[in-house]
Structure 1
Amino acid sequence: MSGDRVIVVGAGVGGLAAAVDLAAQGLQVTVVDKADQPGGKMRRVPAGPAALDGGPTVFTMRWVFDDLLDRAGVGRLEDLVGLRPLSVLARHAWDGPQADRVRFDLFADPRRTEDAIGALSGAAEVKRFRAFRDEAARIYHTLVDTYIRNSKTSMPGLIRRAGVGGVGDMARIHPFTTLWAALGKHFQDVRLQQLFGRYATYVGASPFLAPATLMLVAHVELEGVYSVDGGMHALAQALAGLAKRKGATVHYGQAVSRIETAGGRARAVVLDDGRRLEADAILFNGDVNALAEGLLGPAVKTAVPAVPKAARSLSAVTWCVHAETEGFPLLRHTVFFSRDYPREFDDILKRRRLPAEPTVYICAQDRLDDATQDSVPAGPERLLMLVNAPADGDSPSPALDPSEITACQDRTLALLARCGLRVRLDPDSTTITTPRQFARLFPATGGALYGRASHGWQASFTRPGARTRIPGLYLAGGSAHPGPGVPMAALSGRQAAMSILTDRASTSRSRRGAMPGGTSTG
């Protein structure tokens, strides 16, 4: 690759991060997206007279974006979006008779969390939490440079990069132990196992199948969880604006029908209206399975391996609502747990149906982490309510029929009521998104929201990296390395940008352009 023209297909956070990096280096970047707004899964959804985030709601690992902006020469993240650190990471509730209801807050300050654990479970569990926190930190620090920030994706390469003693370090990240099994060794209180087991769902996985490596999320959260002024979609808007200021061109409402090759390289994209855009490199920021299933044309069908249906991550049913609430003191992030966690995931992954009793996540987008009366919205408020679901949105399964969605809604509201929360849903102010609708929004996924499920030790090493089997075609997004989540998708975009710049420099006769820092390429 020796030219400067790069087309980014998809304005999700990975594509936008890559566009910023590449445009800042002087390349001619064109971003095209079929949607009418940037963000991909970080989308804005109407709910009657209101609009709210209908996708990711948690902002962590801010260093990813600080580094992106630093390389682009535009200052701090606070210069791009408003950020507010949360002192309460999340509130958690378990149902039961009013006298037996349990409420537990996880704090940004570990000492406050220790006090809360002591009140909930006793002093011995506090000691176990400290050991758990230390282990989560060790796992994170083992992987942050060797895997998360690194574009190489193989287990042998990971061991080599760990240096002397690397094999021992790899054993300590527990890739062969499930998260649930590890939590059972750390905690005796099943409620704490359930709470920290929920980290698996952050990547669309079951805690009973995902590796214990995901304990690192506990350390990530302790490094800071933020709310973004205007919601997560405001971050997507800001990144799109920054890419434009750096010289990129961004087009919405422009679906790509196929990617064409010539001379063994990806050379052009053809839009649905028939226009053909030539490029020296093409970055696909969509689910990788769309390539493998031929949705971008036969020329690039062999670019990556297909993701089997059995390997899909979780989907969801979401309710974006503008509604009045009463009873339970919601915070920005609140989780209401089911009484039978194993059954919930068996329902989804084995029985392929909506859970008989779901765990419910609510993002109260007009609240922060202060539940005092002054901070409670007067009148209706914006809520994203989510339950996990099977990724069977492209199948005729009756488990996802409208009657089943209605029954799931009834079970969801009943669980909330048992925990003390009453939500007055108004159909005119409620937008429901099911796995079938997610499958239409994100083709070739069946509604899976996180790419390949992180089940088993090999799963993380089967995600494709930035380069595909077809020269000139690159990947970014949550279905590529290093995985799902807003900061991880942004890192995938940065790794793709670095790969494009590296390949361009290696074939160009002109002086190599430097991109200081950034992500490691091994």
Structure 2
Amino acid sequence: MNPCPKLSTYLDTCAEPSQVSDMASARIIVIGAGMGGLAAAARLARAGHAVTLLERAGTPGGKMRQVPSDAGPVDAGPTVLTLRHVFDALFEDLGARLDDHVTLVPEPLLARHFWPDGSQLDLHADLEQSAEAVGAFAGARAAGQFRAFCTRTRALYDAFETPMIETAVPDRAAVTGLVMRNPRLIGAMAPGLSLAARLARDFSDPRLRQLFGRYATYVGGSPYAAPALLSLVWQAEAAGVWRVEGGMHALAQAIEDLARNQGVALHYDAEVAQIDVSGGRIRGVTLRNGERFDCDAVVFNGDPRALAHGHLGTGVLDAVAPEAVAPRSLSAEVWSFAATPHGRDLVHHNVFFGRDPRTEFDAIARGAPPRDPTLYVCAQDRGTGAAPPAPERFEIIVNAAPDSPEQEFEECHRRTFQTLKDRGLSFDPSPGPEALTTPAGFESLFPGSGGALYGRSPEGMMAAFARPTARSRVPGLYLAGGGAHPGAGVPMATLSGRHAAETILSDRIST
């Protein structure tokens, strides 16, 4: 199988011999070893480019990071692996098999959900099993509503996967034509409605509205501001959830190994101070220590807002449109630690809901911490076939506003652990300040992000078209990562790397 079918097509149809030689000798710098940067670097090296990857941290993965704990490294970033086919395709394109490099365990139980009234609901990878669980939880009418919701969101996902997610540059006219040819999609999309408003029509039980509204936060939005179209995010998880043995960071390490095997030169603890531009084109990058790398193109795997705010020099200030980086997405308070849990029977993915989601998101919209937040608890050592040790590793995520004032540790601790204790879950020992990353901490880790974890906010019907695509306004500068199209989340960031690589191949041949 040809590992680079798109490149092969170009060479067969439009490339002169001199163009082929130029492509093979291109020098490309990738800034950032997140999922988008790793995927772009490996694919570009596979296509014959000389690729150098520069990362300011000491390890790969970007936000898919780990921190030390008494029980070993614990995830401090994304915890859910969905859309496995994206990663199978990446490894196949690089002449490898995903299963030979990473151990993935499918989780038949997607998540366990807890409410303050003591009710509990498990959702499963098997749709009918979930429908039966919903029926036992909220009645036969709710089970029927759940099945209808799954049918509607499946139609939306199937309709928009190719023209939006899989396409490097979404075409508004093409998407509009698709909808006009399939008028049933209009009702399913519910244009003009927020996700919360659409869910109020879908479910009579407020707990189910709260549960499925949470999927807006997967891409950094509030269900009260995100469009109803984002109900399709549920389908990414409904299609299956996998647990990565060794933690999610193991996936980033495996892709880094493949990139090295393709010839990518990786440099860690290498912070880029400036992208050098001359004559309207990219010429190289300069590190904070003064070292310079000449290149023909740059892939920036970071938040595009960092470019607009001058973190990479004045030559790329106008690389993205202002509306591509604002308004900002959600941030979070993230706890990563080892402890022994007491109380609730946990699975790998657990959600503890607050009493009223409106109060949570209204507070975040004001830049204030929510008093009664939803708490996501990942029990990293639990899951299918896993026997948790003592102590276990945990990651807890609490939604927060970006650019929010730094909170006192005691206040953050109380908001998380007293709330969980009220819900019947406690930890021994209780984690200390070293376990916590706040929005200010994320800004320090990822300068220019403002603490936002998902780039631009998904609010607004046209938000998907507002995100920057792989090709920036500066010739020779390309974008990858969760802040670029197709958006936030581990599979989407990985796809952005493919889009960046393919766009570079296209631009260099056409030039």
Normalising by the residue count of structure 1, what TM-score does the alignment of the two structures yield? 0.90
Match of 2:392 in 1: 381
Whether 2:157 is the aligned partner of 1:140: answer yes
Matches of 1:145 and 1:94 in 2, distance apart?
37
The aligned amino acid for 1:147 is M
Whether 2:363 is the aligned partner of 1:326: answer no
Match of 1:158 in 2: 175
Whether 2:95 is the aligned partner of 1:73: answer yes
Partners of 2:179 and 2:185 within 8 A in 1: no
| 1:303 aligns with one of 300, 319, 323 | 319
Question: Structure 1 residues 425 and 156 mapped into 2: Cα distance closer, same or farther (>3 Å)?
Answer: farther
Question: Structure 1 residues 9 and 22 mapped into 2: Cα distance closer, same or farther (>3 Å)?
Answer: same
The aligned amino acid for 1:413 is F
Whether 2:431 is the aligned partner of 1:431: answer no
The answer for unaligned runs of 5 or more in structure 2 is 1-18
Match of 1:22 in 2: 44
Partners of 2:113 and 2:351 within 8 A in 1: yes
Match of 1:366 in 2: 381
Partners of 1:323 and 1:429 within 8 A in 2: no
Partners of 1:293 and 1:306 within 8 A in 2: no
Matches of 1:194 and 1:387 in 2, distance apart?
15
Whether 2:177 is the aligned partner of 1:173: answer no
Matches of 2:312 and 2:434 in 1, distance apart?
33
Whether 2:224 is the aligned partner of 1:208: answer yes
Match of 2:139 in 1: 122
The aligned amino acid for 1:128 is Q
| 1:84 aligns with one of 90, 105, 114 | 105
TM-superposed deviation, 1:377? 2.6
Matches of 2:370 and 2:432 in 1, distance apart?
26
| 1:419 aligns with one of 420, 423, 429 | 423
Match of 2:241 in 1: 225
Give deviations 1:440-494, integer Å, cap 9, x for gaps.
1111222100001111112111100000111100000001001000000011110
Question: Structure 1 residues 310 and 299 mapped into 2: Cα distance closer, same or farther (>3 Å)?
Answer: closer
TM-superposed deviation, 1:73? 1.7
Matches of 2:152 and 2:76 in 1, distance apart?
33
Question: Structure 1 residues 307 and 431 mapped into 2: Cα distance closer, same or farther (>3 Å)?
Answer: farther
TM-superposed deviation, 1:56? 0.3
TM-superposed deviation, 1:167? 6.4
SS in 2 for 1:482: coil
Matches of 2:484 and 2:186 in 1, distance apart?
22
- Structure 1 residues 224-263: aligned runs within 5 Å: 224-263=240-279
Question: Structure 1 residues 163 and 173 mapped into 2: Cα distance closer, same or farther (>3 Å)?
Answer: closer
Matches of 2:221 and 2:296 in 1, distance apart?
37
Matches of 2:468 and 2:325 in 1, distance apart?
17
Moved more, 193-202 or 147-156: 147-156
Match of 1:43 in 2: 65
Q: What's the C-alpha RMSD, in Å, of the aligned pairs?
A: 1.8
Match of 1:515 in 2: none
Matches of 2:80 and 2:189 in 1, distance apart?
24
- Structure 1 residues 47-62: aligned runs within 5 Å: 47-48=69-70, 50-62=72-84
Question: Structure 1 residues 26 and 56 mapped into 2: Cα distance closer, same or farther (>3 Å)?
Answer: same
Partners of 1:175 and 1:211 within 8 A in 2: yes
SS in 1 for 2:322: coil
The aligned amino acid for 2:98 is L
Matches of 2:260 and 2:283 in 1, distance apart?
23
| 1:390 aligns with one of 401, 404, 407 | 401
Give deviations 1:230-270, integer Å, cap 9, x for gaps.
11100000001101101111111000000011221111011
Matches of 1:369 and 1:338 in 2, distance apart?
27
SS in 1 for 2:435: strand
Partners of 1:159 and 1:166 within 8 A in 2: no
Match of 1:495 in 2: 499
Partners of 2:170 and 2:465 within 8 A in 1: yes
Percent of aligned pairs with the same amino acid? 47
Partners of 1:287 and 1:477 within 8 A in 2: yes
Give deviations 1:16-64, integer Å, cap 9, x for gaps.
0111111111111110000000000001112345221100000001111
SS in 1 for 2:73: strand
SS in 1 for 2:381: coil
Question: Structure 1 residues 428 and 413 mapped into 2: Cα distance closer, same or farther (>3 Å)?
Answer: closer
Partners of 1:48 and 1:430 within 8 A in 2: no
SS in 1 for 2:169: coil
TM-superposed deviation, 1:9? 0.3
The aligned amino acid for 1:368 is G
Match of 2:16 in 1: none
SS in 1 for 2:155: helix
State the number of aligned residues.
489
Matches of 2:508 and 2:194 in 1, distance apart?
41
Moved more, 60-69 or 301-310: 301-310
Matches of 1:43 and 1:50 in 2, distance apart?
13
The aligned amino acid for 2:407 is D
Matches of 1:460 and 1:355 in 2, distance apart?
27
Partners of 1:94 and 1:338 within 8 A in 2: yes
Partners of 2:153 and 2:188 within 8 A in 1: no
TM-superposed deviation, 1:138? 0.4
Whether 2:17 is the aligned partner of 1:13: answer no
| 1:486 aligns with one of 483, 487, 490 | 490
